Structure formats: C-alpha cells, structure tokens
Structure 1
C-alpha cells in the first residue's frame, strides 16, 4: 500500500501506519529540521518542505512522479492543534468563530481537501485534539461559523463517507492519557463500505475497561524501558553519558527541595507542601505562601511581590505536580521539559521525564532515527517533536483496521459504529452542526 503524509512532524505517527503496511512516498512538513527526521525514518519518501498552503501542489506533483499510475491508498494528515486550544490567550470563546479565525492554522483542512481532490486517496486520516470537532472558526467562503472537522466533511462529502472517534489513546495501550479526535474518510466506491456495514475503520480498544482491558501505567512503561535513575540536583546526576537522550534539566536548590518534598508516587503537587524547610512548622492553610512562624517562604510555587511573598497564580492543580505511578502518564506535551507545565514531574524521582522516557511513553520504537536533531537543534526542539507525535502504537492498529475495512475482511477487529467513542464524536459533530445553523453539512 502507498501513502502520502501531510503535516508530517518527525514522521513518528507514520511509522505505525508503515508497520501496518503503508509505505509513504511523499511527506510534507513546514519545519525542514523535522522533515529531515521524518525522511530518515521513511527512506522511500520524497520530502516537500514549507507551508502547505503554498506547497500542496508540489505534493501532488511528487506523488505523480513517484506513482504515475495509481492513487494513494492512504492520505494521513495531522494539522497543527495549537489554535484549537481555548487556554491560549487571544482565542476567545470556544464558540466565537471570529476569535477562532485569529489563528490561520485552524483552516488548514482546506489543504487536505485540495490534495485529496487531486489524488483521490482510498482513505484519509485526520488527527487532532477533541476540540477539532467543535471549535468554531470562520468558513472560508461564507465567513460564518463552522468547525474545522465539519468544514472538511462539507468539502469532501460528495466523494467520501466519514467516520469519527473521540477517545483516549490509553484505551489502546498507549501508556499515557492522550485524548484525541480522529476522522477516517473512506472513498464512496470502496467495497468495504458495504461488506463492513455497522463497523468503523478504527481498531477495537484493547485496553479499555468497557472492553475488559486495563490501561498501561507509567510505572509499567518506565520499568519496561529500564533507562536508569537520574536526579535534577546536579549536572553529573541529571544525565547518562551512555544514553544521549536520557537527561533532564538541573534545578536550583529551592526548586529541587520543593519537588523533593512532594511524596513519591502520590500524584500530588508542591502546592500542598505544608512543612517549613527552616523551622519545620506545618501550615494548614493551602493559600499561605510563607511560614506563619518564621516568615520564610514555604516550599510551594511562590514569587516575591511588592511587599511579600505570594503564591504563583494559575495552574494550581497541574503544575509542579508528580505523575501517579499506578496510572498512565499525563499527556506528553511539547512542554515536557518545564516543571511549571501540566503534570511533568517523575512519579518517584526528583526530576522531570527525560526525552528518552517521553519518546517511550509516546510508543516511539527504540530504533527511531533522530540523527543529529539533538546536537544541532537542542532539547527543546526534540521535546516539541516528541510531544506533537501521534503514538505509533495506535496508528499501527489504526492502519490495520483501515486495511481490514477496505478489504472487507476480519470485521472482528473493527470498532462497532455504536461504540461510545464513535457515538461521542458523532454527538460532538451534531452539536457543532446545530450551532452552524445551516443544513449544508450532513451528519
């Protein structure tokens, strides 16, 4: 099977589809550094660097040069998700389409439609955050509200049948909480639409509790990796010279003590530290920043104000917080190297997770080729690539499900259309469609 990848990042998610039987012939990515990593892992592919709004026709051209007599079996696309987040300043309300239009990346589904229109792939996969299904953005023609997912459905509904899920990838054995939405579009002339009626081209959730499964915990995953202990107290203890990707930032004395005071494996944050490091008097008030006995700042996230110490504002339930060892890891994000981000502290060691551990929790294979990405572009760039990857453990299962659906075989491996994950996505699209106020988009 032959495939095309748009918004390829480092090509990690495409590794899963490749393992399922899809060879990528063209890969397109804005960042040339990321594209270099992707091509190192997909040597049969030709790379198209740059903004796809300008370069999508080159993708089509390169496909026809590589495969002049066939259409792609798969078009995989993972457009940027940052503009979908209502947590980012300037994006306004989730239902404010004008605010949603301030980030032009929210309309990149039009690129997917343009390539699909030219190449006519048998199947299309689009991955994004759950808000992709419902976040209001301005329609490129009418200016009215529409979600990016509904827009793509509208543009391709004449030629494709759309299936969707909204789910946590931990349900498929990914050892982290990773809530995502997927659209899978199957071309209307595919026989699988008849032979696989009642099923969707998604894999059954092997590790979901409602399917008799159990999530993989971070403790199980890190034990499997066996990367070795690190400690953020000194540079010598914060890195393993034998494993280039196994290193963490070094913390100052106060920050280290603050994390050290959080009980191991507890899932708690430094916000609940109640003991004064100077006089040992305990504080019973969670809003206190200083010790009521000696006046020294508590081992909590505090800053010095005009007159006295105060607690850091915001993210009090997730920042400066340990992961729970008996649960899947928290979502691996681009900010995995920051202690003040969302739940990034190692469950039982006094440090963050290393890039090696983050890649493992993202289910990247041990032989994934990073080349000189770390040496040339630094750990922040590496962590961003890892955080934005689609876990190949899921995409391999997804790729197999698509193949089974297209061939009309092995229905026992496919997700029933009435599964809660499919129902949740359909309901989200129905709600978004109702807010549009038109009948231009069918369910």
Structure 2
C-alpha cells in the first residue's frame, strides 16, 4: 500500500487580491497566508482564500515570521510576485533604479535564505528576466542549493482567455524541477466570448444591480461616437477624421493603434491592465456593446471566477482601486500550473522511491 503524497503549504508574498494564491489552492496546495502592504487586498484575500492576510511591508518580514506560519509536517513553498512597475515594458527607457520597488526581489531572496523553504516560485513581467536584479536572484537560489528553472509562459496555452506572457520561476531543494508546458493549442484557446458573453448586457454608465462590479464606465459623447465607429479588432484608422485624438495625428500615432479599440469575440483578450475599464487606454471596448469593459469582465478575463469578491457586500467598487487589484493580479491559471507541477514532481519522486524499496 502506497503512502500518501507529501503535501505543500504556501505563503504568498506581495499577495495582492489573491490571484496566485487562488491558482495554488486550485492545484491542491494548502495556502496558509498572504502578505501585502496594501490594505485594499485584505478583504478579497480573506474572503475568497479563507487564509490569513498579514498587512505588512515585506521588507519588515523576517524568516522566523514565515517559519511560524508554515504548519508542521508539510513541505514549504514561498511564492510571490514582486510589484513589477520598475520592470514594466510600459516604462521602457525610464531610469527606475532608484525606485523603492527595485529592491523587492532582494527582500524575496533574503527571506528564502532566512527560511530555506523546500520550494520557491516567482512570477513577473517578462522584461525582468533580462535585468541584473533577476540574475542576482537566480544566483542566490543556486548558491542555496536550489534547482532552478525559469522562462516565459503564454496564458492561452494554460486556459487563460488573455494574451498574457509572464516570466515564471520555479525552484526546488527536493530535486529537479521543470516549468509546466501548456496543453492548449491555438484551436482550443479560450475566447472572450466563452468568458464574458453570458453576463448581463449593459449600456455605458449602467450597472448590474446584482453585481456592482459589473458596471460600465460612462463615456463622453465624443468617446461614445468613437466606440460606435470602432470595429472589433480594428483601430482608430477606421474612424472619420473628426473623431481622431491629438495622439493619433502625431508622427508617433502608430504606437497607439490599440488605444480606443474593441476586443474581438473569438480570440483571447489583450493583456488586462489596471486601466482595462477605460476605453482610451487600450483595446478595452466590448466586442459588440457600445461601452468599455466592466471590472467583472476584466476580472474574469484575468481568470478569476465570476463569484470572486473584491469589495464588501453592497459597497460600490472604485474603478481605480479595484481596477488596480485586478490588473496587478497574477492570473490564477499560472499559479495552478505551477502548483500542479510541484505536486506531480513529488508524486513521481514518491513512486520512484517506492519502486526502489520494493526491489531491495
């Protein structure tokens, strides 16, 4: 008779609203705590994850604090997504080395060294992979005898209805580990239509009384005309001249082709940002309704279930505040793939060990 598989307990640094934690939990990992300095994260994290939320700057957290949170008898996973603004491609060319967030990966590495969990995973923007701060992070893990693998994962290959690419790192002190490979080919990619088409139809400025997160931002008369002139997948070049914005008429206008654009039904969405409720900041127009995305639609395109709660009860959600939580979240699909990979690795090791014992 085989013994039960080892179980893993996770702590999520920079946990945000809980996207990474949700994915790990979906995979079968015991998520025991999330740590973040943003108080807006506490309600969604505790409400949806049923795990402890610790309101604290990661720079003030010590390894002994983490050791006190992990339960005895389980293998330990330290997970996290350090805020990515200093590394974002949206800020290419800017000198961000003096920003406070630049050292957050160093704090992550410090906590790994102080607590030595069996497993580590980190997710961030792809551009970080070319930065010295990331190279130092990997070098520290290897110095601590972790086996490390990292690379870019493409959301649609993992069932995410969104064209999102992210840098994912996995590290193990329990043997070799390899990044998961998505099992969806292009013909099976989840689409915008499959994800949000069953939500109640709305006019711009209208709310679903049963779900205030499903509220469409009111458009100005000019932006409503632009929306009506926009075709799914098209650009502002389809508009009559009188609807063009100043940025479109400058020589750099080619860089703004997706701004004021509509999504298409039959493909994954573009990358969901903190401003995905705003028609003017990307291809965030609804495919057929004359309005921009709602917060609920943005959350579902990030991979959160429709029932995921971001604010209390009948509290009216702030577009800016909740949009930031949604846009900054790790899509749960990535966390689930990582969690399943760690668990399968342990199962394979256990099977090998049992076979070895059987032949002794």
Query: TM-score if structure 1 supplies the norm length?
Result: 0.71
Instruction: Give 1:100 shift.
Output: 4.0
Match of 2:348 in 1: 408
Match of 2:226 in 1: 258
Secondary structure in structure 1 of the residue aligned to 2:179:
strand
Counterparts of 1:320 and 1:68, CA distance in 2: 49
Given the alignment, which residue of 241, 262, 275 partners 1:322? 262
Instruction: Give 1:81 shift.
Output: 0.9
Match runs of 1:13-92 below 5 Å: 13-45=20-52, 47-53=53-59, 55-57=60-62, 60-67=63-70, 69=72, 72-88=75-91, 91-92=93-94
Counterparts of 1:373 and 1:404, CA distance in 2: 38
Give unpaired runs (5+ residues) of structure 1.
93-98, 136-145, 194-199, 275-288, 290-297, 304-308, 412-443
Pick closer, same or farther for the CA change 1:392–1:85 going to 2, 3 Å.
Answer: closer
Counterparts of 1:409 and 1:61, CA distance in 2: 29
Match of 1:216 in 2: 190
Match runs of 1:29-178 below 5 Å: 29-45=36-52, 47-53=53-59, 55-57=60-62, 60-67=63-70, 69=72, 72-88=75-91, 91-92=93-94, 99-135=95-131, 146=132, 148-158=133-143, 159-178=145-164
Match runs of 1:206-285 below 5 Å: 206-209=183-186, 214-223=188-197, 226-232=198-204, 235=205, 238-263=206-231, 265=232, 267-274=233-240
Query: TM-score if structure 2 supplies the norm length?
Result: 0.87
Match of 1:205 in 2: 182
Instruction: Give 1:371 shift.
Output: 3.7
Secondary structure in structure 2 of the residue aligned to 1:375:
coil
Match of 2:290 in 1: 350
Pick closer, same or farther for the CA change 1:26–1:260 going to 2, 3 Å.
Answer: same
Match of 1:301 in 2: 245
Residue-by-residue CA offset, 1:44-99 (whole Å, 9 max, x unaligned): 42x3323211x221xx344333447457521111001111124327x53xxxxxx3
Counterparts of 1:161 and 1:182, CA distance in 2: 14
Aligned length: 342
Counterparts of 2:40 and 2:314, CA distance in 1: 11
Give unpaired runs (5+ residues) of structure 2.
1-7, 352-360
Counterparts of 2:39 and 2:332, CA distance in 1: 22
* Greater shift in the superposed pair: 395-404 or 64-73: 64-73
Secondary structure in structure 2 of the residue aligned to 1:344:
coil
Instruction: Give 1:242 shift.
Output: 2.1
- Per residue, is there more helix in 1 or in 2? 2
